[in-house]
Every structure is written in structure tokens, then in C-alpha cells.
Chains A and B, each alone.
Chain A
């Protein structure tokens, strides 16, 4: 920071690798949410789903010590929780914002009750099994970008791959077309023989699976413990990323990197000691999200036309 080239490059390295690491979980959640929103469901409940995924993956890793099993369990819990949410959104036709928001309060209650039940008042266990950063030989030693790009955990590369898979499914398969049709013009989709209800269930369940896994990602690859504030709005940030990424998985990946970079900037600047108040930097990712989705840069026109409107089959 103070002109020394060595310190400057150290700053860039930590900043870049932290950016990518922090972008991972929100990107994973945003990829799932893209499916839900493309099918016409605004799933605000991914915040709570992430919390449940974080809790179950922590407990699973604590008791079994197997990271992949824990991740799978988090995903399953995400799916199960979202069966309920999908039922609320699609079958009961409750207001999507209300149902999702109240579900988040419910998830907070469930998570903290179960956590206290399972852990008692004992001290927080120090070691659970976690994913460790891979160090891909040779290329991870490249200057500046090497450690950042090639020194992440396997979950990061998996998430990045899923962005391409999601893009392919949404825009190159019949299923993706049917899903998008249900979110754009459900009546037309219905008369073309697409079951709108089934598509919206599918979209919501995919977002649940991804959000559950994203919660597991937070615990198993980053934090290594559970606390009630572990998600603290990252599910909402994922919703912002979906909008900023224009409901497109690849653009969402870029958007997630921008948010990761803002989040990491605060961490890096704190490590390197600046006079900027830390709260100003902590607020940065949220302010950037607000600006990104404020409509200053357009965006209303590309939103799925039937987003947030329940479908009634006549």
C-alpha cells in the first residue's frame, strides 16, 4: 500500500484469492435461484435454506467427519425445506415474498434450536472436517494470479463448472425452454402442454438444493463452525446477483466475482491497516448490490414476465 512493490503484490494476491473464495457460496446460491426465478418464482427463502444447509453440514461433518457426505446432506435438507416452500408458492399460491420471508424467520428459529439441542452448552468444537484448498502444481505458483486462480477449494471449481452446466440446461435443453416459458408466459406454456406447476416446483427445488449446498460451502470450505449469523444476508446478496446477472448463469458468475471483490477489499484493507472505518468497507458489498439492482442500469425489461405472480390453471 505504501509504494513498496512487495507489499503491493502481496495485497493483490490476498485480495484476488479472497475475492474468488467469497464469491463461491453466493454464486452457487444465485445459480439455483436463477432457475427458480426463470420459472416464475421469487424464492426469498434461500436465505433460510442456506442457514439450514450450514447447520446440517456442520453437524454432519462434526459427527461423521466426511465432507462430501455432509455436503450431500446439506443439499438434501435444502431440497426438503424447499418442497414446503414450493408447495406454499405454487399450490397454496401464497404471496412469494411473505412466505419466503417468514420461512427465513422459521429457519432461524429451527437452526438455533437444533444447534443448541445438539451441542448443548459445550464449547464450540474446534475441528470439523473441511475442504482444503487445492494447490495445482506449477500453475498455482504463477505470480499474482497463480495462488488466486489455482489455489481454491474443489467446491469453487465445481461451482464454476455448474455455472456453465446451468447455462447449458437453461438455454440449450427442452427442460430449460419449458422452465423459461413457465416464467415468461405460463398460460401459453400451459396450452403448449407444459405443466407450469411441475416446472415451478422443479425451479424452486433446484434453488433449494443449490442454497443448501451453498450453506454447506460456507461451513465446510470457509468458516469451519456454525453460528446463527453465518449467512447474514448472503442469501439476499445471491438474489441481488441474479438480478445484476440478468437471470443468466454466466453473467451471474461475473456479478458474483464483483461482489466477492468488494467483500474481499474490506478484508484485505483491514489486514493491511488503513484509516478507513471498517464499517464503511463492510457496507460496501451491500451498497454495490443496491446500486446494481436499483434500476439505474436498466434491468426491468429482462426480468421474467410472470415473476412473483402465482399461476391459476383454469
Chain B
């Protein structure tokens, strides 16, 4: 029996098909969200123009898009390293906070008259990167040890650890690190620790360069290095990995360490590039949107940068839309998550192929046979 849609044994996984399903999913999400705009009495075309014009067609807006994209990209990269190694880590909100706190503590030591005193930026930055990466790496690595050695469920433990990290942050900014003043925040970080601005007249800072470099390194790690290969095998099939002599437990902890470190770099970039101080509520969901970015980028380290730019830009555009058309910016949460849900749904389609013979090779009917 010929069918129009035949089920394949494995999903079609050519890059073209994956790109096609992803973009179809994203445009379908935009289509669904248009009805939401219509309910506000706004034309969807104007709404999408507002959503994308400011972040991508104005210099100032593009600067903000880069600012928002950098931490998203770094968290997306952390997601890629851990998830592709079979470690479903969800604690990036916590890593972000830990990285931001560690960086701020280090930077405040560099204030004039403080313990270390002013350090040239080219010395400070590598130090900050190492320190933040190590802090986040240890934070997430603990979850990795729990999973690898005791068999705990990393999904839930990492979700819980987010809240613990946020309470640690609240304790720090309302207690030991609090600056004199009414708000729970630290004093402004010394200027010699700020990331340099890239484009005159915008807020764009060197954080995006750190994100791009990290994307290159993660790509190198996963595609070109033996360690990355071992991590991927661990993720694909831990039993086969163990049979091949790979220490699965050690690789899980290592994947967790890298993921946490990358998540912490996101916090470092946010503090040194954009906020210039540590304050309560600095994370506000970026740890989860970063995961969503990685998913839309199909866990591909190079695709993370443009996807992060798209999502970062959308959040900038949403603020503009809220100011001008008084459509709440929470609409973008709907658009952003709907896109990924639709990607998951459209992925099921890759299991099917269309059978064109369904139309062509019909057995001739009696009437046709007679006329021949």
C-alpha cells in the first residue's frame, strides 16, 4: 500500500533540512504571535517592524542587541557542552550569578587603595576570566560529582541550585558587599576593570568578542580535539563510551565544569561590560533564555552567535515596542518559547518522507484500459 507520507527509520538530518525546519518553526511562531498583536489592535506587520527595526536597523539599538546577545551566547555555549555530553544541566541562572559575584569581588579588589590596587586591564581581564570560570565551574562541577558519583538527578538538582545561588547573591549585596546607600548593590566597579566599548555612540562592549572567541573554542573542542570527541561519545552512549575505555564519570564532571565556567563568563561579561556593579536581580531569567537559544541553534556552537543576536535583539525590540505601542514586552517570551516548541514539533516531521509515486504510479482504471 503506497502512502503519501512514509515513515523513515531515522530522521533526515541534512543541514538543509534542519535549517528548513528551524526557520519554518520560527516563522510559524511569528504567525501565531501575530494574532496576539491583533488582539491589541496593532497590525502584526507594524508590530514586527517595531520589534526588529530598533535592534537591527539603528546603530544604538544594535549596540544594545550586542550587549544582550553576549551573555545569552555564552550560556548557550555552556548548554551545548553539557547537553551534548549527556549532562542535562539547567543551572545557568545560578552560574551567571556566581560568575557575576566572583568577578565583582575581584574587580573591587582592584580599586585604588584596595588590597591589590589598580592593575592594568590586560592583566586584569585574563585573571577575571580564569577566576569567574573556575568559580562557575566548581559550582556546576559539584552537581556533576553528585550525578556521576551518587546517581542524583542533575535536572532537578541544577534547577534548585539556581535558587540557592540567587539567595547567596542577595546575601552578598545586602550584607558583606553592600555599598552605602539605599539599594542592595555593590559600589561601582573601578573603571580600569570595565570592558572597553566597541562602537562610538553605543553601549556595545567587548563581551561579544569574548562570546565569539568562546564559540570558536567550543567548536574546536567538540569537533577537533580528542577530549571533545570523548565528551560527545559519553553523551551519545555512556555504555559504549565505558567499553571504549572512557572514564564516563570523569567526563560528566568535566562537562559540568566547562558548562558552569561558560555560564559564569556570561555573568562576568554582564558585570564588567554592562552593569559595572553587582546588584540584586541581575540574572532575571537570562539563564533560561540562554538554554532556549542553544536549543534553537540546534546545539551547534557556531549557530549560537547569530541565534543569540536574534534573541537578544528581540528583547531590545520588545522594550521599544512596549514604550511605543504599549504591547507588554512579555509577548516576546511567548514568541521565543513558541519558536522552540514548534522546532520540537517540526522535528517529528523529519521522520517522514513524501512519496511522490503516490500520485504517479496509480494502477490504470478500467476506463483508461478500455480507451487504450
Write the residues of chain A forming the contact surface with B, with a CB cutoff of 8 angstroms: 42, 44, 88, 92-95, 97-99, 101-106, 108-110, 112-113, 116-117, 232-233, 236-237, 239-240, 243, 277, 279-280, 282-283, 286-287, 289-290, 293-296, 299-300
Q: Judge whether B344 and A293 touch: CB under 8 Å.
A: no
- A283, B163: Cβ atoms under 8 Å? yes
Which residues of chain A are within 8 angstroms of B175 by Cβ–Cβ distance?
277
- Across the interface, which residues of A come within 8 angstroms of B90, CB to CB? 97, 101
B157 touches A233 (CB 8 A): no
How far apart are the CA atoms of A218 and B345 in the complex, in Å?
A: 32
Smallest Cβ-Cβ distance to A84: which chain B residue: B341
Contact B171 A279 (CB under 8 A): yes
Nearest to A233 among chain B residues (CB) is B163
Residue on B with the closest CB to A282? B167
B333-A109 in contact (CB<8A): yes
Are B337 and A106 touching (Cβ within 8 A)? yes
Contact of A99 among B152, B161, B344 (CB under 8 A): B344
- Inter-chain contacts of A112 with B (CB < 8 A): 328, 330, 333
CB-CB under 8 A for A102 and B337, given A109-B330, A290-B157: yes
B283 at the interface (CB under 8 A from A): no
Chain A residues near B150: list those with CB within 8 A: 294-296
Contact between chains at B163 and A105 (CB < 8 Å) = no
Q: How far is the CB of B311 from chain A (nearest CB, A)?
A: 11
CB distance from A255 to the nearest CB of B (A): 13
Give the shortest distance, in Å, between A263 (CB) and chain B (any CB): 12
Least CB distance, B344 to chain A, in whole angstroms: 4
Q: Are A293 and B341 in contact (CB under 8 A)?
A: no
- CA gap between A294 and B164 in the complex, in Å: 15
Q: Which of B152, B160, B174 has the most CB of A within 10 A?
A: B160
CB atoms of B160 and A289 under 8 A apart: yes
The answer to whether residues A88 and B344 also contact, given A239-B156, A294-B146 and a CB cut-off of 8 A, is yes
Partner of B161, one of A92, A116, A232, A290: A290
User: Is B240 in the interface zone, CB < 8 Å from A?
Assistant: no
The contact sample of 15 A-B pairs, CB cut-off 8 A, is A98-B344, A102-B337, A102-B340, A104-B288, A105-B337, A109-B331, A109-B334, A112-B330, A113-B334, A116-B328, A116-B330, A243-B153, A277-B171, A279-B167, A287-B160
Residues of B within 8 A of A94 (CB): 344-345, 347-348
Q: A98-B295, A101-B291, A106-B333 are in contact. Are A293 and B167 (CB under 8 A)?
A: no
Q: How far is the CB of B353 from chain A (nearest CB, A)?
A: 18
Neighbour of B341 across the interface among A88, A277, A282, A296, CB < 8 A: A88
Q: A109-B330, A112-B328 are in contact. List 16 more A-B contacts (CB 8 A).
A: A44-B155, A97-B90, A102-B341, A105-B289, A105-B292, A106-B341, A108-B330, A110-B334, A233-B160, A233-B162, A236-B159, A279-B170, A282-B167, A290-B160, A294-B157, A296-B152
CB closest chain-B residue, reference A236: B159
Instruction: Mark each residue of chain B from 139 to 175: 1 if its CB lies under 8 Å from any CB of chain A, else 0.
Output: 0000000100011110111011111100110110011
* Chain B residues with CB below 8 A from A113, complex form: 36, 328, 330-331, 334
Query: Nearest A residue to B336 by beta-carbon distance?
Result: A105
Residue of A nearest to B340 (CB): A102
Q: Give chain B's interface residues, CB within 8 Å of chain A.
A: 36, 88, 90, 146, 150-153, 155-157, 159-164, 167-168, 170-171, 174-175, 285, 288-289, 291-292, 295, 328, 330-338, 340-341, 344-345, 347-348
Main secondary structure of the interface of B (DSSP, over half): helix
Q: Which residue of B lies closest to A280 (CB)?
A: B171
Once the chains are docked, how many angstroms separate the CA of A104 from the CA of B330? 13
Query: Which chain B residue shows the least CB distance to A88?
Result: B344
Interface of chain A, main secondary structure: helix
Establish whether residues A295 and B168, one from each chain, have CB atoms under 8 Å apart when the complex forms: no
CA distance A2 to B328 in the complex (A): 50
Residues A287 and B164 in contact in the complex (CB < 8 Å), given A236-B156, A243-B156? yes
Q: CB-CB < 8 A to A42: which residues of B? A: 155
A102 CB contact (under 8 Å) in B159, B168, B292, B348: B292
Of A106, A233, A289, which contacts B338 at CB under 8 A? A106
Q: In the complex the two chains form, what is the Cα distance from A277 to B168 in whole Å?
A: 10
Chain B residues whose C-beta falls within 8 Å of the C-beta of A236 in the assembled complex: 156, 159-160
Could you tell me the distance in whole angstroms from the C-beta of A292 to the nearest C-beta in chain B? 10
Query: Closest CB of chain A to B33's CB: distance in Å?
Result: 10
Q: Which residues of B contact A233 (CB under 8 A)?
A: 159-160, 162-163
Q: How far is the CA of A299 from the CA of B156 in the complex (A)?
A: 14
CB distance from B29 to the nearest CB of A (A): 10
Contact of A103 with B163 in the complex, beta carbons under 8 Å:
no
Within 8 Å CB of B160, what residues of A?
A: 233, 236-237, 240, 286-287, 289-290
**Chain B nearest CB, measured from A265 CB (Å):** 15
The answer to whether A293 and B152 touch across the interface, beta carbons within 8 angstroms, is: yes
Q: How far is the CB of B265 from chain A (nearest CB, A)?
A: 22
Nearest-neighbour CB distance to chain A for B178, whole angstroms, equals 12
Cβ A92 vs Cβ B167 within 8 A: no
Cα(A236)–Cα(B94), bound, Å: 15
Given A293-B153, A293-B156, A295-B150, CB of A105 within 8 Å of CB of B345:
no
Q: Nearest Cβ distance between residue B158 and chain A, in whole angstroms? A: 9
Output the nearest chain B residue to A281 by Cβ-Cβ distance: B167
Residue of B nearest to A289 (CB): B160
**B175 closest partner in A (C-beta):** A277
> Chain B nearest CB: distance from A286 CB in Å?
4
Taking the closest CB of chain A, its distance from the CB of B78, in whole angstroms, is 15
- A243 and B344 CA atoms in complex are apart in Å by 27
A115 and B347 alpha carbons, distance in the complex (Å): 32
Do A109 and B344 touch across chains, with their CB atoms under 8 A apart? no
Closest to A300 in B: B151
Contact for B348 among A92, A97, A232, A294, CB less than 8 A: A92
In the complex, A277→B167 CA distance in Å? 10
A167 to chain B, nearest CB (A): 23
Note all chain A residues with C-beta closer than 8 A to B291. Answer: 101
Is A283 a contact of B164 with CB atoms below 8 Å?
A: yes
Considering residues B150, B167, B332, which has the most beta carbons from chain A within 10 angstroms of its beta carbon?
Answer: B167
